[in-house]
Structure 1
Amino acid sequence: MSELPSRLSVVTLGARDLPRLRRFYRGLGWEEIPSSDDEWAGFLLGGVLLALYPVDELAAEAAADIPSPTEWSGITLACNVDSREQVDAAFADAMAAGATSIADPVERTWGGRSAYIADPEGNRWEIAWASSARFDARGALTAFGN
Structure 2
Amino acid sequence: MTGIPARLSIVTLGARDMGALRGFYRTLGWQEMPGADDTWAGFLLGGVLLALAPMGDVTDEAAPGSPQPTGWSGVTLACTVDTRDDVDRVFTAAVAAGATPVAAATDRSWGGRSAFIADPEGNRWEITWGPEAAFDERGALLTWG
TM-score by length of 1: 0.52
Identity of aligned residues (%): 60
In angstroms, what is the RMSD of aligned CA positions?
2.3
Tell me which residue corresponds to 2:93: 93
Counterparts of residues 56-71 of structure 1 (less than 5 Å) = 71=71
Aligned position for 1:103: 103
Distance 1:93 1:71 in 2: 24
Figure out how many residues of one structure are paired with residues of the other and give that number: 86
> Do structure 1's residue 138 and structure 2's residue 141 form an aligned pair?
no
Which residue type is aligned with residue 138 of structure 2? R
Q: Relative to 1, partners in 2 of residues 1:71 and 1:122: Cα closer, same or farther, differing over 3 Å?
A: closer
Higher relative contact order (CA 8 A, sep 6+): 1
- Report the counterpart of residue 113 of structure 2 in structure 1: 113
Could you report, residue by residue, the CA deviation over 1:49-80 in whole angstroms, capped at 9, with x for unpaired residues? xxxxxxxxxxxxxxxxxxxxx95312100000
Q: CA deviation at 1:143?
A: 1.3
Q: CA deviation at 1:85?
A: 0.3
Q: 1:84 aligned to 2:84?
A: yes
Q: Distance in 2 between matches of 1:76 and 1:30?
A: 22
Unaligned runs of 5+ in 2: 10-46, 49-69
Counterpart amino acid of 1:97?
A
Q: TM-score, normalised by structure 2?
A: 0.52
User: Given residue 76 of structure 1, which amino acid in structure 2 is its aligned partner?
Assistant: T
Cα pair 2:117 2:124 within 8 Å, conserved: yes
